[in-house]
Amino acid sequence: MKIGIFDSGYGGLTILNKIRQRLPQYDYIYLGDNARTPYGTRSFDVVYAYTLQCVEKLFERDCQMVILACNTASAKALRTIQQNDLPRLAPERRVLGVIRPTIESLGRLTHTRTVGLVATEGTVRSGSYPLETAKLYPDIRVVSQACPMWVPLIENNEHNSDGADYFVKKYLDALFRQNADIDTLILGCTHYPLMLNKIRRYTPQNVTIVTQGDIVADSLADYLQRHPEQRNRCSTNGSCKYLTTESAEKFCTAATSFLHQHIEAEHIAINA
Ligand code: DGL
C-alpha cells in the first residue's frame, strides 16, 4: 500500500518534496487535479465533491492513507470525508490534512501572539485557521488576507515574471496594514512556497515565514511512529508516481521545473 498526496494542482509538490526527504523509504502517489484548479475560489460543496473524487481515485490505486496537501481541501472537505465518507468507503484507511499540524507549530514561533495568514479565498472564508488556533492557543490572534491571484500565477508559470510582483506586494501590504504586530506569517496554501523569493521580498524582515512542507513531513513521521497498524501496511520501495487530471505532458514540464528533477506523469480521467 502507498501514501497518496493530493492537491488541486502543483502546490502539493512542495509538501511531497519534504515528505520524501524525511521519509524516503515509502511508496508515494501524487495526484494533481490540474484540470479543475484552482479550488480556492470554489464553493464548499464543489471543493468537497472534487476532493472526495480524488481521494477515491487514490484509494483505487492502493493508497493506505491520503494527505490532503491542500489547505482549501483541508478546510472545506477533510472533516466531512473523515466523519461521513471514510467509515463507509474504507474504515481501515486514513485521510489527513495540513492545517492542524501547521497551527500546532505556531505556539513556539510567535512572540507577539499575532500571526498573519495568507491563503486562498476559500481557506480564509472557512475561518479554519482562526477557529482552530483559538482552540489550541486562545492567546494567539490570526489576521487573514486572501490572495486570489497567487495560485493562478503559479499554475500558469507566471510567478517569476515581473508582473507577479504587483500582486505579491498588493496582498502582503494589505495584510500588514491590518495589523503591525504580526511577527509570523503562515503561507497557508501549499502553492505559495513556489514563489517564496518574491514573498520574502515584500515581507518585513523581522517576520518569520512559515512554510508547511517540513511541518507536515514531521507530523506524518510522528503519526506513522504512533500508528504501527498504519505504518505496517505501507510498502517501502522508495517509489513515487505522478498522476494528473490534465495533460501528462504539461504536468511533466511544470513539475520538472518546480522539483528540479525530471519526472514522468500519467493522465487520469475524472468524471465530474
Ligand atoms: N494548494 C492549494 C491550497 O493549499 C491551492 C488551492 C487552489 O487550488 O486554489 O490551498
For the beta carbon of residue 238, count every other beta carbon within 10 angstroms: 12
Spacing, Cα 119 to ligand 1 middle (Å):
8
**If pLDDT is split at 50, 70 and 90, which confidence band does 260 have?**
confident
* 64 neighbors 94 (Cβ within 8 angstroms): yes
Helix (H, G, I), strand (E, B) or coil at 233: coil
The pLDDT tens digits for 29-61 are: 999 999 999 999 999 999 999 999 999 999 999
Measure the N-to-C terminal CA separation of the chain; round to a whole number of Å.
27
Q: Any idea what DSSP says for residue 217?
A: H
Rounded distance from Cα 193 to ligand 1 centre (Å): 12
- Residue 189 designated active-site: yes
Q: What pLDDT digit, counting tens, does each position of 110-143 carry?
A: 999 999 999 999 999 999 999 999 999 999 999 9
Residues 61, 6: Cα–Cα separation, whole Å: 13
Strand order across the beta sheet in which 2-7 lies: 94-96, 63-68, 2-7, 28-32, 240-244, 265-267
> 142 CA distance to ligand 1 centroid (A)?
19
User: Does residue 272 register a pLDDT over 80?
Assistant: no
pLDDT of residue 264: 93
141-155, 173-187, 249-263: least confident range: 249-263
Cell numbers that stand for 127 in this block: 475561518
| pLDDT value for 257 | 85
Tens digit of each residue's pLDDT (9 = 90 or more) over 52-110: 999 999 999 999 999 999 999 999 999 999 999 999 999 999 999 999 999 999 999 99
- Whether pLDDT at 155 is above 70: yes
Residue from 54, 189, 234, 240 carrying the catalytic annotation: 189
Mean local confidence (pLDDT), 177-198 = 96
Per-residue pLDDT at 67: 98
Cα 18 to middle of ligand 1, angstroms: 17
What is the overall mean pLDDT for the chain? 96
- For 256, residues 6+ apart whose C-beta sits below 8 A from its C-beta are 262, 263
Q: What is the percent of the chain with per-residue pLDDT over 70, rounded to a whole number?
A: 100
The predicted pLDDT at position 146 comes to 98
Residue 186 confidence (pLDDT)? 98
Three-state SS for 82?
helix
Hey, how many other C-beta atoms are within 10 angstroms of the C-beta on 118? 25
Which atom of ligand 1 is closest in space to residue 188's alpha carbon?
A: 4
**Rounded CA separation 94/83 (Å):** 11
Our mutation pick for probing the ligand 1 site, out of 71, 99, 215, 246, counting the most ligand atoms within 8 A of Cβ, is: 71
- Amino acid 4: pLDDT: 98
- Which pLDDT belongs to residue 74? 97
Residues with CB under 6 A from ligand 1: 7-9, 11, 37-40, 70-72, 120, 123, 151, 189-191
| Residue 89 confidence (pLDDT) | 95
- Spatial neighbors of 200 by CB under 8 A, at least 6 apart, are 209
